[in-house]
């Protein structure tokens, strides 16, 4: 602590600046949420209640709630041209104490639910349903529960679009065999026959106030004779203009990059499985609600992942030495998709000749020679990518061509060495997701590595972690680490999975305002499913018990939030 009066004065001033800074940031966040709520209330005030009764409440962008559909003849509450002049700053003239009190009041959780929660709400939040992915076998053998690919449905299936029959087709995300879901449903409200489908608009930043951003559809059975539904010719590339940057086998380092982005997601079958979510002590009087916790769920998810499986493989050690750069198996690159993954990686590594990797690799060359060499490799990688795009990604490549491509990569291994195993896994995963004709040429070891990416949970070995709960715990841990005395311990990696029912994740949305009277129909996060790239976003879809019982999936409420 400061000793002199001047030091104390300076310390107090710094402390006040920090407090006010934190307060202002929190106030801005709260005001943004209040504005979003006001926009939602404006929508409710101007919309015809009877017409809204037939529409679902949806979100445009991240965290902006709105009503989907076309409100003909109604004013648009989001029309900036018609918006009134901004109100005076409500924070003006407040001292720090008043501001902090205001922030605490504004950020308080919604008031506690009066009385016990409805039976369906209580039952569902304690019994999440997750989806255990398995290696694809093909549409004829994988059943009716799967991610991506083409939906399987009746002949009269209508592909949902963003704005009626003339809108942009939504991207098919997944479907569930309701006969598999029903025995796992703690509420007894899910359909027990037919198929439930999920479609989403994956174009980032869609600001169309009238567009439908998602669609949940239920088609009744019997399902015999159903077939794959053709993808509309006008279906957009997945993830819009972000697709070239995030989809396997794609790159934004070539001209017309979007042309090479697929219009369907990779196809992986799954088996729904339910488990009892760990009980957590909550204080309803304080408005506490149950939210997903990765640490709490990890042991249960690991049990679900390993159920009925005898896995004798050693647990992965995250500190094990990286293998030397070498051809992973004789056929690699085994298909045109693998060539694209390899070329895209080289394009990324050679995008800037002045990167430290380039300078280290060519330390014996002048700057001009190094730039010329890297630019030459970059142009070669473009040609290789063009080769990979000559056939569908799942087309097997001739062995001679594969050998030639490998020699090219081996001679440039300095640019590919770091993370090369992940590159191979990504190419094998792409092959699995598109049903490649070259699957039989991939060793089981690499199939297993690719499938491990989709596991609900996995174990790994690492040094014992420090104990931060007691004073001096970290310093003691550091000393033991430097002395080589830390034991290796088994850990569980279990990121938040895609799940139906159970508690939602807590992010910067307003899902806490809905959980007392809505069921979580589906939550998706980045990495929760094959090629699920939502940045820091979390997609949550909720439905009331009454609407679920009535099969009113058009009334699903979406909360799209970001950490």
Residue 274 CA to residue 268 CA, distance in Å, equals 19
Candidates 61, 146, 131, 175; CA nearest to 535 is: 61
**Amino acid 154: pLDDT:** 98
pLDDT for position 77: 36
Domain that residue 184 falls in: 119-242+264-292+529-562
In a domain, 113, yes or no: no
CATH of the domain at 157: 2.30.320.10
306 found inside a domain: no
Cβ–Cβ < 8 Å for 256, 220: no
Q: Which pLDDT belongs to residue 30?
A: 47
Cα torsion through 352, 354, 355, 361, rounded to 10: 110
Q: Decide if 512 is inside a domain.
A: no
Does residue 272 share a domain with residue 182? Answer: yes
Same domain, 141 and 270: yes
Ramachandran category for residue 240: left, alpha or beta (phi over 0 → left; psi -120 to 50 → alpha): left
DSSP 516: T
Structural domain contains residue 95: no
State whether the Cα torsion 28-29-30-34 is positive or negative.
positive
Q: For residues 271-297, b (16+ Cβ closer than 10 Å) or e, as one string?
A: bbbbbebeeeeeeeeeeebbbbeeeeb
Q: Using CA atoms in the order 93, 95, 98, 100, what is the torsion angle rounded to 10 degrees? A: 120
Please, are residues 212 and 68 in contact by the beta-carbon 8 Å criterion?
yes
Torsion sign, CA atoms 164, 169, 173, 177: positive
Of 435, 457, 479, which marks where a domain is finished? 457
* Assigned token pair, 132: 């255990």
Tokens, residue 73: 């003849």
> Do 279 and 358 reside in the same domain of the chain?
no
188-to-46, 121, 184 alpha-carbon distances in Å: 36, 11, 9
Residue 50, strand partner residues: none
- Element (DSSP H or E) covering residue 214: strand 214-219
Cα–Cα nearest to 289, from 504, 498, 123, 65 = 504
Q: Are residues 173 and 226 in the same domain?
A: yes
- Under 8 Å between Cβ of 272 and 129: yes
Question: What are the residues whose beta carbons fall under 8 Å from the beta carbon of 405, sequence distance 6 or more?
Answer: 333, 339, 342, 384, 387, 397
How many domains in the chain?
Answer: 2
Q: Please list the pLDDT of the chain residue by residue as tens digits (563 residues).
A: 444 434 444 444 444 544 445 544 454 444 444 444 433 443 343 334 343 333 333 332 333 333 333 323 333 433 444 455 666 676 677 777 888 877 776 666 666 666 667 899 999 999 999 999 999 998 999 999 999 999 999 999 999 999 877 789 999 999 999 999 999 999 999 999 999 999 999 986 655 656 678 999 999 989 999 999 999 999 999 999 999 999 999 999 999 999 999 999 999 999 999 999 998 777 766 667 888 999 999 999 999 999 988 766 788 898 888 888 999 999 999 999 999 999 999 999 998 877 787 788 888 889 899 999 999 999 999 999 999 999 999 999 999 999 999 999 999 999 998 899 999 999 999 999 999 999 999 999 999 999 999 999 999 999 999 998 989 999 999 999 999 999 999 999 999 999 999 999 988 768 888 988 999 999 999 999 999 998 878 999 999 999 999 999 999 999 887 76
Do 272 and 179 fall within a single domain? yes
- In this structure, the chain runs to a length of 563
Q: Which of 410, 437, 457 finishes a domain?
A: 457
The DSSP-derived string for 301-332 is HHHHHHTT----SPPEETTSPPPPS--SSTT-
Helices 336-349 + 399-411 axis angle, to 10 = 10
Q: Where are the alpha helices (DSSP H) in 389-472?
A: 399-411, 420-433, 444-452
Peptide bond into 333 cis (omega under 30): yes
For residue 493, give the 3-state DSSP assignment.
Answer: strand
Contacts of 214 (CB under 8 A, 6+ apart): 58, 170, 198, 199, 200, 201, 541, 556, 558
Q: CA angle 545-546-549, nearest 5°?
A: 85
Return the beta strands (E) in 142-181 as ranges: 146-147, 152-153, 162-165, 171-177
**Nearest by Cα to 94 from 38, 27, 37, 32:** 27
Q: Report the pLDDT value the prediction gives residue 510, as an integer from 0 to 100.
A: 81
pLDDT of residue 360: 82
Query: Is 516 inside any structural domain?
Result: no
- Asked if residue 213 and residue 155 are part of one domain, the reply reads yes
From first CA to last CA, the distance across the chain in angstroms is 35
Tell me the C-alpha distance between 473 and 480, whole Å.
Answer: 11
> Do both 374 and 440 map to the same domain?
yes
**519-525 vs 195-200, strand pairing mode:** unpaired
- The tokens for 465 are 């972690």
Residues 238 and 126 in one domain: yes
468, part of any domain? no
Q: Do 450 and 373 fall within a single domain?
A: yes
> What Cα–Cα distance (Å) separates residue 438 from each residue in 100, 262, 266, 385, 453?
62, 19, 16, 19, 20
Which of these three, 437, 457, 477, is where a domain ends? 457
Give exposure, 460-498, as e/b (b: 16+ Cβ within 10 Å). Answer: eeeeeebeeeeeeeeeebeeeeeeeebeeeebbebebbb
Residue 190: inside a domain, yes or no?
yes
Helices (H), 389-512: 399-411, 420-433, 444-452, 473-482
Examine the domain organization and report whether 145 and 276 are in the same domain: yes
Q: In 3D, which of 281, 295, 216 has the Cα closest to residue 491?
A: 295
pTM of the model: 0.80
Both 356 and 444 in one domain: the answer is yes
Claim to verify: residue 273 and residue 141 sit in the same structural domain? yes
Q: Count of alpha carbons within 13 Å of 487, Cβ hemisphere only?
A: 3
Q: What is the pLDDT of residue 19?
A: 45
> How far is residue 506's CA from residue 526's CA, in Å, rounded to a whole number?
15
In the numeric block, which tokens belong to residue 267? 């196809």
């Amino acid at each position: 602590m400061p000793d002199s009066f001047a030091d104390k004065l300076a310390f107090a001033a710094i402390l006040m600046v920090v407090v006010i800074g934190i307060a202002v940031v929190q106030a801005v966040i709260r005001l943004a949420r209040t504005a979003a709520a006001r926009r939602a209330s404006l929508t409710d005030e101007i919309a015809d209640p009877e017409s809204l009764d037939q529409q679902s409440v949806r979100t445009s962008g991240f965290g902006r709630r709105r009503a989907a559909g076309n409100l003909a003849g109604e004013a648009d509450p989001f029309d900036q041209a018609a918006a009134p002049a901004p109100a005076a700053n409500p924070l003006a003239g407040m001292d720090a104490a008043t501001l902090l009190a205001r922030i605490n009041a504004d950020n308080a959780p919604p008031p506690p639910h009066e009385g016990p929660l409805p039976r369906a709400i209580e039952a569902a939040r304690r019994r999440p349903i997750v989806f255990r992915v398995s290696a694809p076998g093909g549409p004829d053998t994988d059943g009716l529960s799967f991610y991506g690919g083409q939906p399987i449905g009746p002949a009269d299936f209508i592909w949902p679009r963003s704005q009626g029959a003339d809108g942009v087709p939504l991207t098919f995300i997944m479907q569930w065999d309701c006969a598999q879901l029903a025995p796992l449903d703690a509420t007894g409200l899910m359909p027990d026959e037919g198929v439930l489908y999920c479609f989403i608009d994956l174009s980032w930043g869609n600001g169309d106030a009238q567009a439908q951003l998602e669609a949940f559809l239920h088609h009744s059975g019997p399902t015999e004779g159903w077939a794959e539904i053709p993808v509309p010719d006008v279906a957009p590339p997945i993830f819009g203009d972000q697709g070239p940057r995030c989809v396997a086998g794609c790159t934004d380092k070539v001209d017309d990059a979007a042309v090479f982005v697929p219009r369907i997601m990779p196809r992986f079958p799954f088996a729904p499985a339910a488990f009892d979510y760990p009980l957590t002590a909550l204080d309803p009087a304080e408005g506490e609600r149950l939210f997903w916790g990765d640490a709490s769920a990890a042991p249960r998810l690991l049990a679900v992942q390993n159920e009925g499986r005898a896995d004798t493989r050693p647990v992965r050690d995250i500190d094990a030495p990286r293998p030397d750069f070498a051809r992973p198996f004789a056929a690699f690159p085994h298909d045109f998709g693998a060539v694209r993954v390899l070329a895209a990686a080289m394009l990324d590594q050679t995008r800037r000749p002045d990167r430290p990797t380039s300078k280290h690799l060519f330390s014996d060359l002048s700057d001009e020679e190094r730039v010329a060499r890297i630019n030459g490799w970059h142009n070669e990688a473009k040609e290789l990518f063009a080769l990979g795009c000559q056939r569908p990604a799942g087309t097997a490549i001739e062995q001679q061509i594969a050998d030639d491509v490998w020699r090219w990569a081996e001679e440039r291994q300095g640019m590919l060495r770091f993370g090369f195993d992940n590159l191979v896994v990504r190419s094998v995963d792409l092959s699995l997701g598109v049903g490649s004709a070259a699957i039989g040429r991939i060793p089981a070891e690499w199939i297993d590595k690719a499938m491990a990416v989709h596991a609900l949970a996995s174990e790994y070995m690492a040094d014992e972690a420090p104990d931060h709960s007691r004073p001096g715990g970290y310093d003691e841990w550091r000393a033991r680490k430097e002395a080589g005395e830390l034991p290796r311990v088994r850990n569980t990696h279990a990121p938040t999975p895609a799940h139906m029912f159970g508690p939602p994740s807590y992010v910067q949305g307003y899902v806490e305002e809905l959980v007392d009277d809505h069921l979580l129909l589906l939550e998706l996060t980045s990495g929760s499913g094959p090629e699920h790239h939502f940045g820091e976003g979390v997609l949550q879809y909720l439905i009331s018990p009454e609407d679920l019982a009535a099969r009113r999936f058009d009334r699903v409420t979406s909360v799209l939030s970001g950490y």
